[in-house]
Chains A and B, each alone.
Chain A
Amino acid sequence: MYNKGTIIPGLALFVLFVTFPIWFNGLTTAGDLPKPELPPGGEKQCVMPADYMRANHMQLLNEWRDNVLRDGNREILEIDGKKYRKGLQMACMACHTKKEKFCDSCHTYAAVTPYCWDCHLTPNEAASKEAIH
């Protein structure tokens, strides 16, 4: 083998790069799994089944956003006798009141930073703002 001095360190560097996730995670520690807190009020029913919501909630919210803000369609949804107004704060956060314990738990784990909160307030924030005014 020629040029061992450069090729062997180069290959070692390459293997380190490729196996980056293994040693970054500390070899065998998978880290904490997210534990989203279920609604404190004890509600069991949502606008869609839990499986669907887990995979598609962002698309549903995007659709609602377009309906309400772009098309002015504020139609109230009635699902299994319960009425929902289209909106993150009006529908979702009525039951899932704690953003920090519900939304954030998975979003942090998956490194997703949705821009919902650029405009929306969490119930906590909304309460503190009301207290100021």
Chain B
Amino acid sequence: MKYTFSFLAVIALVLIAWLGSQIPGMQYLFGVAIPYLAIMIFLGGFVYRVVQWAKSPVPFSIPTTCGQGASLDFIKQDKLDCPTKTSEVVARMFLEIVTFRSLFRNTKSELHEGPKITYESSKWLWLFALIFHYSFLVVVIRHMRLFLNPVPAWLEFLDFLDAGAALQVGAPLLYATDLALVLGVVLLFGRRLVNRQVRYISLANDYFPLFLIFGIATTGILMRYFLRTNIDIISIKELLVGLVTFSPVFAAKIGSIFYIHLFLVSTLLIYFPFSKLMHLGGVFMSPTRNMANNSRAKRHINPWNDPTIKPHSYAGYEDEFREFMVDAGIPVEKELPPQKDE
């Protein structure tokens, strides 16, 4: 099954990191070498993918129009959904990236007795995606406290808000985004299972990132709240600050759960540029969103046009083939010149 394979792959990764980090001397591999490799592959791969996309020509003007286009003065243009100016495109892109407007338009179709097909609004994907992406963003930003020394005040404030949103439960304090991230992943996964159409088109590479991120979130939560043996945050931070200042040190023995968490994150970074997760970069590069719908005002020239092929107007076409057209009885706009009688 598609999800079993992805699930087993994540289990295998956990086992590799768990068993591997037990071997003396392998801490360096899992704690330093693989994370460095991962971040380099992530950055290099990301830039490579974006450059590859940037090299692909866009032959046609293909913005998706979702509202009234610019027309006569008394017809109100939908500036966000059918932008004609760069500023409107920027506004559209911004809202797409920040609020996922295109997911808000998601519909579901159902076949009823009759047969009769119905379409209705379905906002679940939009809601789950918002929960997931925003909590993931906050989790990533929060982790910066382990990489920055000294920690800036705004980061401490974010931490305070996050723990405060979960009502300061337990010690260490429970974070609201920890719960929201797991909830988001579970909801997105559940959607793939419950919705038959989505389940049918879901592939192993759709399930794998979900399991992987679920694994990252659960190992993080286990490390913070439950499996605290040898999880001394000071020696962990010393290692991580060491990583970003190119002088990593192992001050003390660190529990296996840390290496599992780090290995899964490294896997995510390595996997990222070669997967559907590249929608992070792709959302900026998608011509259906980042082009203005102004093809009537401004001619879109296909970059791969052969410059030796000149435009061929109808008048020119008729000039070229008039004789044959008249012969075949096809009406022409300009008749043949009268023949001289002999």
Contact = CB atoms under 8 A, between A and B. Distances in A.
A38 to B, nearest CB: 15
A22 B55 contact: no
A21 interface: yes
B128 to A, nearest CB: 25
Given A1-B54, A56-B228, A62 B170 contact: yes
A61 B246 CA distance: 36
Interface in B222-252: 228-234, 237-238, 241-242, 244-247
Instruction: Bin chain A's interface residue count.
Output: 35 or more
A15 B40 CA distance: 11
Label chain A's interface by main secondary structure: helix
Contacts, number: 101
A27 B237 CA distance: 16
Instruction: Bin chain B's interface residue count.
Output: 35 or more
A33 B238 contact: yes
Contact of B51 (A1, A32, A55, A109): A1
Contacts of B231: 55
A15 B47 contact: yes
Contact of A111 (B58, B155, B246): B155
Nearest to A23: B244
B241 A31 contact: yes
A114 interface: yes
A24 B241 CA distance: 11
B58 A2 contact: yes
Most buried by A among B58, B150, B238: B150
B145 to A, nearest CB: 4
B171 A61 contact: yes
B144 A21 contact: yes
Interface stretch (A6-14, A71-79, A89-97): A6-14
Contacts of A33: 234, 238
B13 interface: no
Given A2-B303, A59-B171, A111-B159, A30 B54 contact: no
Most buried by A among B47, B237, B242, B281: B237
9 contacts: A11-B47, A28-B247, A30-B247, A31-B149, A62-B170, A109-B234, A110-B237, A111-B159, A113-B159
Closest 5 CB pairs of A and B: A31-B149, A21-B147, A111-B151, A62-B171, A58-B171
